[in-house]
Structure 1
Amino acid sequence: MGRSPYSILTALLAASVYMVLGQVVTFSPSTGINYAINIPSDTASKGSGTVYFQIQAPSTFQWIGLGQGSRMEGANIFIMYAASDSNITLSPRSGLGSFEPNFNPSAKVSLLDGTGISNNVMTANVRCDSCISWSGGSMDVKSTSSSWIWAYKSGSAVDSSSVSADLTQHDDKGAVTVDLTKATGGSSSDPFVTQSNSGSSINNGNTSTSNGNGSTNGNSTGSTSGSSSSSSSTSSTYTTSGVTVADSGQSGFNRRRTAHGLIMAFVFLILFPGGALTRHLIRSPKTIPYIHAPFQLFTLAAAVAGLGLGVSLALDIGEIYAYHPVIGLTTVSALIAFQPLLGVLQHLNYRKNGTKSPSAYAHRWLGRILMVLGIINGGLGFMFSGIGTPGVPTAAVIAYGVIAGFMGIAYILTLLLSATRLKSPLNTSTPNGCLTENAAEHSLVPAERSISKDGK
């Protein structure tokens, strides 16, 4: 059965519109942050050529990044940050793994009309002529599951036109896969320019391109006039379909960071001090072998778990040699290497001689020093992550300080009261007159006086 001339005309018209209008896939991993990708029809048919993408976010973000690849290592990354009150810088970079990506001088990108800062929104409309293949990988423009990564950092503006500006670690990151067949279509030289977006601006034509030499017409800084476009027409069809979340970021990096902070805070603020005080609060020959030692071993295991999360986070952001991870590794490693051993040596000495050995002093004071160091490092951890940034609320820092102060006072008062009680020889013996291990560790009474009433 033949098709009517009307249906054929309709099909041809639809095809022609599809060829002219851009087909754009968008996704928004966080409030206010939007990414958009377009593969022109000509690029899709040839398997090479130009790719368009857009990065948009409120100016309250310090930087926003979009990258091609499933992870940072080998990724083709593009980072947007403010160059001034009205201009942005787009910095093409090469992913190096768990380190800050370096500027990529081989990138061929151009900033298009609509790029700039307007109404407190940063926008980068980008033409990329080096996004099909790069030194670390390549992209199949017909892929239904193309890998992309994203990241952002909140904070004060970078205010730099340098494409090699030093950037601080991200607050959050994630990954998505994009069905590029849903982003294919159009022959526009700028599929984003006439879309009505709050904060989009129209460029006055003074747009720089990147050929890698960093000079004028050879950098990635777009200079815009700052005039806003309020056009309601659009040259593209926008869709959010075809995007699959591979790593939501919040359920990954931020949740691991939160878990790390909670575990280590509980360990050093509550568990270690509480375990240390059990031998002062519970007067029994069985306190140390049956309460103190098992409790502290459990706490040490929790510290190791928290340390593991911390190490994975530090490796992710390339900061394993920073002050916070180094202090944490040193503290927990010393706890593992020395505290159980010194405790066992003192316990064996007590069972043999009924006295306090040098290992008792070492166990006690090393434990106190490492406990205080761990608490201090917790505070440094808040600074390291950025107080007030997402995942590190100021209220949490205040609560940490209050609990640390309260536990410190309670710990010192308990030690003072315990020392007062132990000054009397009558308070250092069990019902049959023998010293408990707790008392033997603290008593100033010579061991030869710690005998039973029958003189044995």
Structure 2
Amino acid sequence: MSRLSCLLLAVVVGLAGLVVASPSASSFVLNGGQNNNNFTFSVNVANESNDLYFRLEGPIGNSWLAVGAGDQMAGSLIFVVYAAQDNGNVTLSPRIGTGHVEPSFDEDIDVDLLDGSGIFNYTYVVKAVCHNCRRWNSGALNVNTTKQPWIYAVGPGRPFSSNSKTASIGLHDAYGEFTMNMIQATGAGGVPDLATSMSGAASVGSAHTSFNYFKLFHALFMSSVFVFLYPLGIISARVFGWIRIHVFKMVFATMLAFTGFFLAVYMSTLYNKIIGLVVMIAIVEQIVMGFIYHRTRAEERTPKVKVHSWIGQGILVLGIINGGL
């Protein structure tokens, strides 16, 4: 064999080795993400172990991304990713779905982030391996089917970051279902390459958008309280001297404020919750002080009455500011 033939043979063998080195995978691709970034999920089933390798990517315009093994949230093993507080890193949280509520972190799911994970070019990039994802307490992954059901979801477009795997992520903005060919995905273990098109996967129906009734009623209640009811209550007492009307409006507004606050606890950001809690504590203090002063019919502008008045105005301003967070 000539030297040239040997060289060509070596090149062919080398290229063949590169092709073989690419892990087997099935890939789901959802086009049209923010900043033209696709939502992509690829999975590899290692045939030499029980490991499950996967790659999840999507736009950071969504506060979080999630993909789960199962045909519904209840009982599904769900991987949630969001920005870490360490700049450029991500947090990967394995959770178990219990229904149409936020899934709960499961410390028994052994999943590791691998090198190459992080945030790059406005995109979440997760390269991971799960060592015990074939079966969990409420379900199992069928690696011998061509139509294993999966679900996906993306969070709302608001800033969010946490290093905690138990962080509250709030309601999704959109979600959907798809199936994957797990037989095609089986082979030598390794993180799949980035996919640009569907391979061994198919959408089930179309994506669903979520209408957040919690957000709607929270906005209605809190805007009514801080823009309308509390100002009218202050005017009733300060301008017209209508103490009974003032008390009625303040009590009614406070009931709405507490309802709106508990809705916010379910869905809002950390800073929104902290400021909201400060406002609610101040409101309780105002109710107690106001009851004492009006019950004793204190008419003079004593220092305590002035403090009560100024705190009330401060609550009004802080509540309006918090509405923008």
The reply to whether TM is greater than 0.5 is yes
What CA deviation, in whole Å up to 9, does each residue of 1:399-454 have, x standing for no partner? xxxxxxxxxxxxxxxxxxxxxxxxxxxxxxxxxxxxxxxxxxxxxxxxxxxxxxxx
SS at match of 1:173: strand
What is the CA–CA distance in structure 2 between the aligned matches of 1:30 and 1:131, rounded to whole Å?
A: 27
Deviations 1:148-167 (A, max 9, x none): 10000132332210001111
Normalising by structure 2, report the TM-score. Answer: 0.56
* 8 Å CA contact retained: 2:56, 2:127: yes
Match of 1:141 among 140, 143, 147: 143
- The question of whether the paired residues in 1 share the 8 Å contact of 2:27 and 2:198 is answered with yes
- Once the two structures are TM-superposed, the CA of residue 21 in structure 1 deviates from its matched residue by 3.0
In the other structure, the counterpart of 2:188 is: 186
Residue 108 of structure 1 is matched in structure 2 by 110
Structure 1 partner of 2:202 = 244
* 1:423-442 superposed matches below 5 A: none
Partners of 1:157 and 1:53 in 2: CA distance: 25
Judging changes above 3 Å, is the alpha-carbon distance between structure 1 residues 15 and 141 closer, same or farther for their aligned structure 2 residues? farther
Classify the secondary structure of the residue corresponding to 2:26: strand
> Larger relative contact order (C-alpha < 8 A, sep ≥ 6)?
2
Query: 1:156, 1:176 → 2: CA distance?
Result: 26
* Residue 93 of structure 1: aligned partner: 95
CA–CA separation in structure 1 for the residues paired with 2:40 and 2:121: 16
Cα pair 1:21 1:185 within 8 Å, conserved: no
1:14 Cα offset (Å): 11
Q: SS where residue 142 of structure 1 aligns?
A: coil
Q: Which consecutive unaligned segments of at least 5 residues does structure 2 have?
A: 1-12, 33-37, 222-259, 268-325
Aligned match of 1:27: 28
Deviation at 1:323, TM superposition (A): 4.2
Q: Which amino acid aligns with 1:154?
A: P
Residue type at the aligned position of 2:81: M
Report the alpha carbon displacement of residue 83 of structure 1 after superposing the two structures with TM: 0.5
Cα 1:70–1:182, aligned 2, differ >3 Å: closer, same or farther?
same
CA RMSD of aligned residues (A): 3.5
Q: Which amino acid aligns with 1:25?
A: S
1:40 shift after superposition:
2.0
Query: Deviations 1:202-244 (Å, cap 9, x if unpaired)?
Result: xxxxxxxxxxxxxxxxxxxxxxxxxxxxxxxxxxx98623212
State the one-letter code of the partner of 2:155. Answer: K
1:77 corresponds to 2:78: yes
Shift of 1:129: 1.1
Q: Deviation digits for residues 75-100 of structure 1, max 9, x if unmatched?
A: 10010000133110001111010111
* Aligned residue identity for 1:21: S
* Cα deviation 1:341-360 (Å, max 9, x = unaligned): xxxxxxxxxxxxxxxxxxxx
Deviations, residues 245-294 of structure 1 (Å, cap 9, x unaligned): 123223xx45xx5xxxxxxxxxxxxxxxxxxxxxxxxxxxxxxxxxxxxx
Structure 1 pair 155–138 and aligned structure 2 pair: CA distance change class (3 A): same
The answer to whether 1:151 aligns with 2:157 is: no
The alpha-carbon distance between structure 1 residues 77 and 187, as it changes in their structure 2 partners (threshold 3 A), is closer
Larger radius of gyration: 1
Counterpart contact for 1:76–1:95, Cα < 8 Å:
yes
Tell me the residue number matched to 1:41.
Answer: 47
Query: In the aligned structure 1, how far is the partner of 2:120 from the partner of 2:18?
Result: 31
- Describe how 1:410-429 pairs up with structure 2 within 5 A: none
Measured after TM superposition, the shift of residue 61 of structure 1 is 1.4
Q: From the superposition, tell whether residues 144 and 14 of structure 1 become closer, same or farther in structure 2 (CA, over 3 Å).
A: farther
Report the count of equivalent residues. Answer: 207
Report if the CA contact (8 A) 1:18-1:185 is conserved.
no
The separation in 2 between residues aligned to 1:60 and 1:185, in whole angstroms, is 34
- Aligned to 1:52, the other structure's residue is in SS state strand
Change (3 A) 1:139 1:166: same
CA gap of 1:247–1:104, structure 2 versus 1, over 3 A, is farther
CA drift of 1:121 comes to 1.4
SS of the residue corresponding to residue 98 of structure 1 reads coil
CA contact (8 A) 2:46 2:186 kept: yes
- TM (normalized to structure 1)? 0.41
Which has the larger share of strand?
A: 2
Answer yes or no: is the 8 Å Cα contact 2:29–2:40 preserved in 1: yes
| Paired AA for residue 173 in structure 1 | Y
SS at match of 1:61: coil
Q: CA separation in 1, counterparts of 2:111 and 2:204?
A: 27
**Secondary structure in structure 2 of the residue aligned to 1:181:** coil
Distance 2:196 2:51 in 1: 19
Residue 18 of structure 1 contacts residue 186 of structure 1 at CA under 8 Å; is this kept in 2?
A: no
CA contact (8 A) 1:34 1:55 kept: yes
1:345-398 deviation per Cα after TM superposition (whole angstroms, max 9, x unaligned): xxxxxxxxxxxxxxxxxxxxxxxxxxxxxxxxxxx9xx99x9xxxxxxxxxxxx
Q: CA deviation at 1:185?
A: 2.0
Partner of 2:131: 129
